[in-house]
Every structure is written in C-alpha cells, then in structure tokens.
C-alpha cells in the first residue's frame, strides 16, 4: 500500500482542497474559489443550495493540512421560486416527521428564506439533527440555530468521564487532550493533527448527560 501524501505548503493544500471539491459530487466545484493562508482555507463564490455550501466546507476540512476554513460561499437560490410559506411548510413537515428531533420541542420561523430554529431539547445531537434536516430543504438560504439544551445537574466525576469518552473516540491523539469541567461546562484543550479528531473530541464531550456547553479550544497542528 502506498504511503499517504501530506501537503506541506499553502500551495499544496490549496491544490488538494480544489481537487477534493472537484471529487465531491454535491459540489459544483467550478463555481468555488479556494485560497489558503497558513492552513486556513477560504472558500468563495456562489452555490445553489445551503446543503452544497455545507458539503463544500466539509470537503475542505477533510483535507490534511487544513486547520480551519472561512466559508464565504453565498447561496444563490435557482430554479422554481419557493415562497417563505412554502419553505415554512416544508420545514414544519420535516421536523414533525423526524424520529430524532423531539416532537413539539423545536419551532421554526422563516423570513427571506432564512430559517430560525428555537426550542429546548435534551441532547446536542438533537439540536444538530434539526439543523441538518432544515438545511437540505430546497429554498433555504441560511439557518440560524438558537435551539437550547435543557439544564443539567452537575455530577462528581464528569471530568474523568468526559476524558475517557474522548480517549475511546479519538483516533490517535487523545493523550494530548485535556478536559476541564466547570459546573456543566466543559473546555477541551490540547493538540491533534486533523479537524476530524478535533470534531470527534467535541462530540464525545457533548455526549455527557451532565454537559450543557462545550468550548473546543483544541488546536490542529499539522505534522
């Protein structure tokens, strides 16, 4: 098996991100501009849907050497014109039929094709599931997610439990990560070598039943 390729210069990373966007079928890569400075990739141009904008960001973050992105892509809705009422009805139906988002716990308001989500749920994954459902609806240009988590009781040993969860989910760099707990708030620090590892650590912390907020200060250090 050939050794993986690592990109060491901004030019190398820029080329790799461009290739990854071209490789991603959800993205019309010819409409996306890419620049990279010190590992930060900036995406610019127009896309047709909010889901395409999200897919482009995920594709860029998956490239080794990218430590963060500035997503300046603008959603330019094309095709059949959907009114705010059309979008609101579609959003309502998606949330109502979801098996993940708690029934009746999330509300949506639509104005100028921008959907604002509010409500109160038990888990962070429910909050993000609502966001993902809505961003894939045709006619949605942007989602403002203001869904809150219900208050949680503090618990002795939360720090150790979060730490163990991070170790279970991390692919290689868990030993460099620290978790500090203040009440029901967790702060993650340390270094990893990829965005996916940082994201995995954050997901692990959010999965605690005693956590209401996670501040992910883990730095990505490209080796």
CATH of the domain at 134: 3.30.1340.30
Per the model's pLDDT, the better-predicted residue between 10 and 78 turns out to be: 10
Query: How would residue 192 be classed by pLDDT, with cut points 50, 70 and 90?
Result: confident
Per-residue pLDDT for 3 more than 70? Answer: no
Q: Which domain holds residue 173?
A: 158-220
pLDDT tens-place string over residues 31-43: 999 999 999 999 9
136 and 182 belong to one structural domain? no
92 and 35 belong to one structural domain? no
Give the residue among 177, 183, 153, 173 at the shortest CA–CA distance from 163.
Answer: 177
DSSP-derived secondary structure letter, 7:
-
Q: Is the pTM of this model over 0.75?
A: yes
Tell me the C-alpha distance between 77 and 139, whole Å.
7
> Residue 164: its pLDDT value, please?
84
100 and 63 belong to one structural domain? no
Tell me the C-alpha distance between 206 and 188, whole Å.
11
Residue 111 φ then ψ, to 5°: -145, 125
Per the model's pLDDT, the better-predicted residue between 156 and 219 turns out to be: 219
pLDDT tens-place string over residues 71-93: 999 998 876 578 999 999 999 99
Residue 35 in domain? yes
> Residue 160: its pLDDT value, please?
84
């Amino acid at each position: 098996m050939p050794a993986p390729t690592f990109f060491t210069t901004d030019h190398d990373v820029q080329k790799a991100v461009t290739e990854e966007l071209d490789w991603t079928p959800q993205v019309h890569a010819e409409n996306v501009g890419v620049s990279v400075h010190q590992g930060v990739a900036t995406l610019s141009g127009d896309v047709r849907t909010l889901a395409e904008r999200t897919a482009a960001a995920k594709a860029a973050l998956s490239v080794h050497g990218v430590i963060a992105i500035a997503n300046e892509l603008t959603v330019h809705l094309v095709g059949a014109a959907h009114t705010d009422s059309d979008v609101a009805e579609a959003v309502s139906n998606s949330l109502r039929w979801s098996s993940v988002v708690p029934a009746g716990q999330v509300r949506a308001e639509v104005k100028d094709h921008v959907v604002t989500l509010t409500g109160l749920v038990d888990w962070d994954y429910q909050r993000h599931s609502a966001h993902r459902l809505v961003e894939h609806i045709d006619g949605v240009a942007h989602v403002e997610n203001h869904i809150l988590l219900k208050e949680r009781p503090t618990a002795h040993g939360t720090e150790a439990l979060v730490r163990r969860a991070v170790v279970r989910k991390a692919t290689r760099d868990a030993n460099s990560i620290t978790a500090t707990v203040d009440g029901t708030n967790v702060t993650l620090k340390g270094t990893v070598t990829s965005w996916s590892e940082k994201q995995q650590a954050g997901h692990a912390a959010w999965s605690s039943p005693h956590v209401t907020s996670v501040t992910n200060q883990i730095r990505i250090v490209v080796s």
